[in-house]
């Protein structure tokens, strides 16, 4: 029975309209009437967005929950605005009212919001005291201008795009904004153009009626005190200025390889970098390559950095002369009138050595009379070989690994070295050569030069008998000085 009593008490307390407040909730009344516990924007707020919603939160239910009925005027719109605002309001729940203006509020203006004194709660309570609060909207401001200040190589038909922090009055913006040649003052020449707007009136585009001039500075600016937000209010002032530079006349800026370069990479052909966007169809027929490649070059134009790449089979250690004939045109029909000659020399191919075995691992029988393996090499003078014993556990671990090349990254144990030797690699420069190496034949491959041919093959087991006399290890073959006794 006691539990039922406390439950009933809690329900009655909720229906009566009492509410728990957060520690930072505003207490503005005596507790007998309706109090406003929070507002959005807060009282005294500044820099409020012109399209912000206005919210009032009360300390008790004002309208019934889940009841679809026609509200009296004092409940349908309990907020009064100064300056006046039109819009749509709604009760989010029984105690939270949200108002959305039909259009943007005036920028840089102080708004005062008052709660209607006719407001009544479900329990019949009125406001405990008159309540109002104020906030100030953000004045109109330019967020960005494109092209950005100091940008260069701007296309001759590129529009100017300006973004604002709030919806703007179109007519006033178009009167205040100018795009022209030169700096401020008497030498400033405005450019004729057409304005277009995004639907929300926060972005305007200016497109020139005629192409900009080549290699010319243009200036985007706003006259103070003219442009205003869509809701009126403060005028735009202190807007940033953007100065941009148009593309220059077509010209070759540089090439890769550079003119006069030596030891250029013997791959890839040549890339030409232009000063402005080019009509790539006018380039290929005006390029002469000497010596002539064995096939016609492929080409690729990159309109991001205005580069044109000629891809042809470049030969190593070769002197190239590339002639760029006059007549290459930019996208506006302006032509390069001078011939350009680029001379450079390519370097050798990089040194290369490969073991010709599947996936870097070969299987050989050490008891065969000879053990041979193919290698390919280029631009090396000798092949250094080392033979190690590998524990079975290491070998299996490498084979079952997920690596594409099972031998990659394996480091043998230094103490398990069986043999090391050097083989001369004789091949013409830049030519890839196949060689068959005999891994079992020691002749001419000993690391101890001058020693007689060995009677042992790799993998043989030898027993050294040192009793009664020790075996002498000499520093040099034949009569060399004794190094140690084994």
For 131-166, write each residue's pLDDT tens digit.
999 999 999 999 999 999 999 999 999 999 999 999
Sign of CA dihedral 250, 254, 257, 259: positive
pLDDT value for 461: 62
Q: What is the pLDDT of residue 471?
A: 66
Q: Per-residue pLDDT for 445 more than 70?
A: no
- Which pLDDT does position 478 carry in this prediction? 56
Q: What's the pLDDT score for residue 4?
A: 34
Q: Tell me what the pLDDT averaged over the chain comes to.
A: 85
CB of 355 closer than 8 Å to CB of 405 = no
Contact 416, 389 (CB under 8 A): yes
Residue 77 above 70 pLDDT?
A: yes
- pLDDT of residue 127 exceeding 70, the answer is yes
Peptide bond between residue 249 and the one before it cis (omega within 30 degrees of 0): no
Q: pLDDT, tens digit, for every residue of 301-358?
A: 999 999 999 999 999 999 999 999 999 999 999 999 999 999 999 999 999 998 887 7
Q: Please give the biggest Cα pair distance in the chain.
A: 126
Cα 228–168–224 angle (5° rounding)?
35
Q: What is the pLDDT of residue 18?
A: 35
Strand order in the sheet with 177-181: 189-190, 177-181, 217-222, 242-245
The confidence band for 468, taking pLDDT boundaries of 50, 70 and 90, is low
pLDDT at residue 285 greater than cutoff 70: yes
Which residue's entry shows tokens 């092209």? Answer: 147
Q: Beta strands of 147-231 (E only): which ranges?
A: 160-164, 177-181, 189-190, 193-197, 203-208, 217-222, 228-229
Average pLDDT over residues 452-464: 59
- Which residue ranges form the domains of the chain, and what is each CATH number? 2-137 (2.60.40.3710), 142-245 (2.60.40.3710), 252-345 (2.60.40.1220)
Instruction: Return the percentage of the chain with pLDDT > 70, whole number.
Output: 81
- Run of H or E including 3: helix 2-15
Digit-coded pLDDT (tens) for 393-443: 888 888 777 777 777 778 888 888 988 888 888 889 999 888 888 776 554
């Amino acid at each position: 029975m006691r539990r039922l009593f406390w439950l009933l008490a809690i329900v009655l307390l909720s229906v009566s309209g009492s509410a728990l407040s957060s520690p930072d909730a505003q207490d503005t009344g005596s507790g007998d009437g309706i109090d406003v516990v929070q507002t959005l924007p807060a009282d005294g707020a500044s820099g409020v967005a012109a399209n912000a919603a206005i919210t009032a939160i009360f300390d008790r239910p004002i309208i019934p929950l889940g009841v679809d009925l026609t509200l009296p005027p004092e409940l349908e719109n309990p907020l009064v605005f100064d300056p006046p605002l039109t819009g749509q309001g709604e009760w989010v729940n029984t105690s939270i009212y949200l108002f959305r203006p039909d259009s943007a509020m005036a920028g840089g203006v102080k708004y005062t919001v008052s709660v209607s004194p006719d407001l009544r709660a479900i329990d019949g309570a009125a406001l405990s005291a008159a309540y109002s609060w104020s906030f100030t909207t953000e004045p109109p401001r330019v967020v960005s201008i494109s092209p950005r200040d100091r940008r260069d190589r701007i296309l001759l038909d590129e529009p100017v795009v300006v973004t604002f922090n709030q919806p703007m009055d179109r007519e006033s913006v178009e009167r205040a904004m100018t795009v022209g040649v030169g700096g401020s003052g008497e030498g400033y020449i405005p450019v004729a153009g057409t304005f277009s707007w995004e639907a929300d009136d926060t972005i305007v585009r200016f497109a020139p009626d005629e192409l900009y001039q080549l290699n010319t500075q243009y200036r985007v600016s706003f006259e103070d005190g003219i442009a205003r937000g869509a809701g009126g209010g403060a005028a735009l002032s202190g807007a940033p200025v953007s100065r941009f530079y148009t593309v220059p006349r077509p010209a070759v800026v540089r090439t890769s390889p550079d003119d006069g370069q030596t030891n250029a990479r013997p791959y890839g052909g040549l890339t030409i970098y232009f000063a402005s966007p080019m009509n790539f169809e006018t380039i290929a027929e005006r390029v002469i390559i000497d010596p002539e490649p064995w096939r016609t070059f492929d080409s690729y134009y990159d309109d991001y950095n205005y580069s044109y790449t000629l891809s042809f089979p470049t030969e190593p250690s070769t002197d190239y002369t590339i002639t760029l004939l006059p007549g290459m045109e930019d996208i506006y029909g302006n032509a390069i009138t001078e011939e350009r000659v680029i001379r450079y020399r390519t370097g050798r191919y990089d040194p290369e050595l490969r073991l010709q075995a599947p996936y870097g691992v070969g299987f050989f029988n050490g008891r065969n009379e000879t053990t041979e393996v193919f290698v390919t090499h280029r631009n090396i003078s000798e092949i250094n070989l080392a033979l190690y014993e590998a524990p079975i556990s290491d070998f299996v671990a490498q084979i079952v690994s997920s690596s594409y090349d099972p031998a990659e990254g394996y480091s043998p144990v230094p103490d398990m070295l069986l043999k090391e030797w050097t083989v001369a690699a004789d091949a013409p420069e830049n030519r890839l050569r196949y060689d068959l190496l005999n891994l079992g034949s020691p002749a001419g491959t000993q690391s101890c030069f001058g020693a007689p041919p060995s009677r042992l093959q790799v993998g043989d087991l030898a027993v050294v008998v040192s009793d009664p006399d020790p075996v002498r290890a000499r520093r040099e073959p034949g009569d060399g000085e004794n190094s140690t006794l084994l």
